[in-house]
Every structure is written in C-alpha cells, then in structure tokens.
C-alpha cells in the first residue's frame, strides 16, 4: 500500500489534495437541499454531508462551509427555519451537480438547471419533484466547528415523502430501488445496490 502522510498532503496541489481527502472516507449521501428566501425566491444546492443524528427525536445534520462569503442556503434556513432534503437519482446527476456553481442570490437554481420543483400545500419550501425521497426539515440548532470554521446545522425531520415502491413493510426505505446515487469525493457519483440486510447483532 502507498503511505500518504500530512507532509505529503501539504505538498499536493489544491485540487489533488481536495480529491484525496474528500474521497478517502468512502461513499456519502447525495442530496439536494431546497430553501426559500424571505423575498420568496427559491434556492437549490447539492450537499454530500447530510447525516442521520437520531430517530427519537428524528434529527439530521449537515455541514456548511464557512460563512465568509454569502451562503444562500444558510441565510434562507436562518430566515425561514424550514428546508427540504431530496435524494438524487441517476437521471438527476448532471443537473444536481450544476447547482454547486456559484450563482447570484437572485438566480433560481431550479430554473437554470432544469430541475422541476414541487410545492406542497401549506409548505413554504420547494421540493425536487423527481426525487423519490423528500424530507421536510426544521432548523433546530447550529454549531461552529472551530477547527476549520464550518457550521453544522441540526434539524428536526418534520415529514418524509417517499415513493411507495421503496418503502418496505418494516419501515425500511430501499434506496437502490429508486436509483438513488451516492457521492465519492467531490464529483464522483456512484450507483447503489443493496447487498444484504442482517438481523440486529447480539452477543
């Protein structure tokens, strides 16, 4: 095996270092987060850091880069409290990836990328219509990660909308049936395939 240490990290150019560190931890979730500004504008951005935090109460979290430049997702969540998390499928990859471009605040990423938005009755934030798993979340808290200035957002899961063909009798959502993808590093998108489900491990 090749050994790469911190001195080697520092000697790499910016892009190889980003690729190395972002891909070494394995596959990550691929989601689009939808928000609404105080003026009613819609925003959509791709995230690979959405993680499960607990089931009772139902919580998730995700990481935002330092707010040293305008972060439209962050501002909208702080103003509106609510946001949507939408799973990315095979057919959405290119459009979803394009949302990572640095668009001005007034630009609606749904429109410029061609992703169809879906509004649900009584809910102020947009969802991705094509996504087979859509989650409505509410801001609960945030924590600054002092070591690098990033922000962890903590949110409650308020509603889950899921394609019935993915939902199993025991509540398990089998994502590969909906062609949901994962992310390897910053720009690698991978198909998912359920290999096995095992019973609860006991001693």
- The CATH number for 81's domain is 2.30.110.10
Q: How far is Cα 137 from Cα 183, in angstroms, rounded to an integer? A: 22
What element of type H or E holds 20? Answer: helix 14-23
Residue 99 lies in a domain: yes
191 - beta bridge partners?
Answer: 181
3-state secondary structure of 70: coil
Residue 15 lies in a domain: no
pLDDT over 90 at 71, yes or no: no
137: containing domain: 28-185
- Band of the pLDDT at 21, cuts 50, 70, 90? confident
How much is the average pLDDT of 4-16?
Answer: 87
Residue 8 lies in a domain: no
Residue 54 lies in a domain: yes
Total count of domains within the chain: 1
Residue 199 lies in a domain: no
Residue 102 lies in a domain: yes
Residue 18 lies in a domain: no
Residue 122 lies in a domain: yes
pTM over 0.85: yes
3-state secondary structure of 51: strand
Residue 69, pLDDT score: 60
Q: Write b or e for each residue in 71-108: b if 16 or more Cβ atoms lie within 10 A of its Cβ, otherwise e.
A: bbbbbbbeebebbbbbbbbeebeebbbbbeeebeeeee
């Amino acid at each position: 095996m090749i050994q790469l240490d911190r001195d080697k990290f520092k000697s790499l150019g910016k892009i190889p270092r980003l690729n190395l560190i972002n891909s070494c931890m394995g596959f990550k979730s691929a989601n689009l987060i939808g928000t609404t500004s105080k003026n009613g504008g819609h925003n959509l951005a791709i995230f690979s850091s959405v993680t499960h935090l607990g089931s009772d109460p139902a919580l998730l979290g995700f990481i935002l880069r330092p707010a040293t430049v305008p972060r439209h997702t962050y501002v909208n969540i702080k103003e509106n409290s609510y946001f949507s998390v939408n799973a990315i499928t095979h057919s959405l990859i290119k459009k979803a990836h394009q949302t990572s471009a640095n668009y001005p605040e007034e630009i609606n990423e749904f429109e410029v990328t061609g992703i169809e938005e879906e509004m649900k009755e009584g809910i102020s934030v947009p969802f991705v219509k094509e996504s087979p798993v859509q989650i409505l979340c509410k801001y609960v808290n945030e924590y600054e990660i002092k070591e690098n200035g990033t922000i962890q957002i903590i949110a409650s899961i308020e509603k889950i909308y899921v394609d019935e063909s993915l939902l199993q009798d025991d509540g398990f959502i089998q994502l590969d049936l909906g062609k949901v993808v994962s992310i390897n590093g910053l720009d690698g998108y991978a198909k998912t395939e359920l290999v096995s489900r095992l019973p609860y491990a006991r001693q």
